[in-house]
Amino acid sequence: MITHRPSTASRLARRAVQVAATALALLAGSLAVSPAFADTPAAWPEQPHVSGWNYLVLLLLIPLAVFVLVWLAVTVPDYRRNHRGAGEEPWGERREWFGGPSRSVDAADEVSPEELETSEGRTGGASGRW
Amino acid sequence: MAPVAGGEGFSAEDRHDIDRAIRDAETVSRYEFSVFVGPADGEPHAFARRLHAALAAPPRSVLVMVDPDARSLEIVTGSEVRRDLADESVRLAVATMQSTFEAGDLAGGIKRGVALLADAARQPATLHTDEP
């Protein structure tokens, strides 16, 4: 079966006709449609006048204030928890031992040098400063 | 730089959180954890080792010592703990704690460090050990 490929000129002409027909149809459709005009019923009460300032307060300032309040409520306690004490008075002589012996630091004073020497080289760990 | 913690020390919430972090760490790793916060008597490393030796089971214990005023941090691991918790992992925990302390969060740094140590010391589950 032999098929003939259309020439470039005829393809362009066909495409131009398609585009023109589509544009014409859209234009005709848009002209045929008319906007709907509706008004509020006459029995309805007159709407109160709302000024631009009222719009601004209602749509912008109040939401903004609510946003700021929520942001502060979330941020401030976290900030205070994380920065509590920074720059305040030093820790001092207070000692807190979590999970330590009941005798607390006195127990450390009773550790003999022999015990320390025995553990020397067998314990591990690391040190640091900040 | 300014010292980290204020005059009142830890709040009740901080203490509760640190206690819970220690309990969680012990559950995860099956080792004992202890945290000392306060001034060291003498050289910090030697003092930390004395504290560690005073614990109920030093070979199975990890001691974290923080001196907020001297800005020094010492971690001592017992001989048994050391088999699972390498010194390199301890150094990583120290680095994390240092950065948190620098940000002014003493309790947070302790909690984070204890959790990191416990994770690093976690012994891998051994399957089928009870089978003949």
Tens of pLDDT along chain B (132 residues)?
Answer: 334 444 567 889 999 999 999 999 999 999 999 999 999 988 999 999 999 999 989 999 999 999 999 999 999 999 999 999 999 999 999 999 999 999 888 999 999 999 999 999 987 666 666 555
> pTM for the full model?
0.62
Check CB contact under 8 Å for B108 and A126: no
- What is the full DSSP assignment across A86-127? TTSS--TT--EEET--TTTHHHHHT--HHHHHHHTTT-EEEE
Neighboring chain A residues of B35 at a CB cutoff of 8 Å? 97-99
Check CB contact under 8 Å for B34 and A99: yes
Highest mean pLDDT among A89-93, A112-116, B46-50, B111-115: B111-115
CA A29 to chain CA centroid, Å, is 44
**How many interchain CB pairs under 8 A, A with B?**
170
Q: Using CB atoms, which residue from B69, B86, B98 is nearest to A128?
A: B98
Check CB contact under 8 Å for B6 and A88: yes
- Residue with the bigger pLDDT between B26 and A3: it is B26
Q: Which residue of B has its CA nearest to A113?
A: B50
Query: Could you tell me if B87 and B120 are in contact, meaning their C-beta atoms sit under 8 angstroms apart?
Result: no
Q: Which residue of A has its CA nearest to B42?
A: A109
Rg (CA), chain B: 15
Q: Is the ipTM of this complex over 0.85?
A: no
**What is each CA distance from B35 to A110, B49, B51, B130, in whole angstroms?**
19, 13, 10, 35
How sure is the predictor about A15, in pLDDT bands with cuts at 50, 70 and 90? very high
Tokens, residue B123: 């012994």
Q: Cα separation of B115 and B108, whole Å?
A: 11
Query: Per-residue pLDDT averaged across A30-36, rounded?
Result: 74
Per DSSP, the three-state class of B75 is strand
